[in-house]
Amino acid sequence: MKMRYLDLMERALEAYSIEHIDRYFADVKKAGLTEHGFARLTANIGTMLSFGRKAELESRFIEMMDFCCAHVSVDRAANDFSIQEMIVCIDLLDESGAIAKERLDEWRTLLKKRVIYNEVARSADQLAYNWVLFSCVSEFLRMKRGLCPLDMEFIDMQLATQVVHLDTNGMYRDAAIHPPMVYDNVPRTLFSILLFYGYDGKYRELIDETLRRAGLLNLKIQSVTGEIPYGGRSNQFYHNEAHFACVAEYEARRYAKEGNVALAAQFKRVATDALASIERGLASEPIHHVKNRFPTESGYGCEDYAYFDKYMITVASFLNWARIFCDESIEPASPMTEACAFELSDDFHKLFLRSGDYFAELDTNADPHYDASGLGRIHKRGAPSEICLSCPGTATPSFKIDRDDAGDFAIAAGALVDRELVFKTSGEYKVLSKTCDGERAEATLSCEICGREIEFDVMLSSSSVSLCVRGDGKVAVLLPTFVFDGEEKSEIAVGDKTVEIKYKGYSCRYISSGEIVDTGRIGCNRNGHYALLSAVGDGRVEVDISIEKT
């Protein structure tokens, strides 16, 4: 397993040609360390060297590391994130003997200088989010390696500003409303690093219990494709699953030490599935850092800050933490197939359903800058995630798309209002019930559309996903139909009551009790383009969805 992590870290590094690295370094020399991508790239090259890999980059690495270490007391933006990775890199190089000890000592001496962090808390009641936690971990590792005096008062002050963001499940709310799913797992990884390296301060027991409680959620909310839940900023990047692997490896190690072999194996399965998901994503050429095939330079699906140079190497950075946490003596459990229906706290407003090889995720009150309300994910184990739907789309994205006329979309309830189909893709759905019986998982939700009460049933079995929308008058289900991933188009066949999408050796079929209608609109999410079709019926409309190999 550790070798798989290293192989995939190397694969992520291979996205940077020597010419790319030289160009990147030239830019950094001019502008300084304005962000953490370059320092992370440097640390990951050093990690590869420590394992006898990428020897052709040794001279470049030494120059890059000289620069990064010399600038920790000059530049601000990189240090919060990368000091911790630079320290671990130096440790690995020391253990392996890959770089002369004299040079390592020079770097350690530079890291003893005052580090300028971009974000630190100045008081325990300051409002601060995950950036401060990165600074806290970096400074703690400096202390543990004797590069600065031990100052637990400083560390505990930083942590005081972080533990207030934990919800009732121990999940991290990185925003007052609509907290993003990725930035629940990132802080939990950082908490894990603190405990792994021996933090024993004021918040140790609270953090340990938080990790235990929230870790158990990941057994339920990971997709059958190995993916982290959708929702909010920084989503649909390949580094997302690396965070999931970190949390899972840490928890697997915990339960193995406690003698709970079964639970340790379940967490190892989560880590293995997350790793396999990244392996599939990075297998194609050219390598992309976001889950689509649009040209990297287009920035499609990316926030302004989420560009290639920063977020590609982030995959390797967090895979390295997962590798460090990894206990190879733990064998993964078999995939979970029993039915499950699970809801997160009101802060995260998510509902998950699972049965057999099918998985569904609903957002009952989506952030309109990133997602849409409704059923935003249907995955089938082994199938391309986007063939049905992996995340919703919004007309007002905080990430880049390539159409000005894109509409909101999820698999959503709708109604005919004044001769126009209106769909519930914004605002709130209420969960009326959720049940599972070992073979089926189902939920009933309600919403209001222009003053009309509509009910929306979602049921998963081992063979399909069944939907039903009920209400007075004409009702509908919005059916996003995958068209284009930025490189490859799907094959779509539309009948009176059927839709079939063929893509990458799989077929996704919608079979409706009512008429299939083309809304004439196109939706864009981070994965690509979708034609927005709908199924329409009088008082009731049912849709059966199945995904199979062709």
Pairing status of strand 441-449 against strand 506-512: unpaired
Tell me 120's DSSP state: -
Q: How confident is the model at residue 427 (pLDDT cuts 50, 70, 90)?
A: very high
Return the pLDDT at 78.
87
The DSSP annotation for 127-193 comes to ---HHHHHHHHHHHHHHHTTSS---HHHHHHHHHHHHTTB-TTS-B-SSSSS--SHHHHHHHHHHHH
Q: How confident is the model at residue 39 (pLDDT cuts 50, 70, 90)?
A: very high
Within 8 A by CB and 6+ apart from 258, the residues are none
Return the pLDDT at 438.
80
Q: How confident is the model at residue 269 (pLDDT cuts 50, 70, 90)?
A: very high
**Distance of alpha carbon 409 from alpha carbon 475, whole angstroms:** 16
pLDDT digits (tens, 9 = 90+) for 190-203: 999 999 999 999 99
Return the pLDDT at 455.
98
pLDDT digits (tens, 9 = 90+) for 456-467: 999 999 999 999
Return the pLDDT at 75.
87
Percent over 70 (pLDDT), the chain: 100
pLDDT digits (tens, 9 = 90+) for 66-123: 999 999 999 888 899 999 999 999 999 999 999 999 999 999 999 999 999 999 999 9
The verdict on pTM exceeding 0.85 is yes
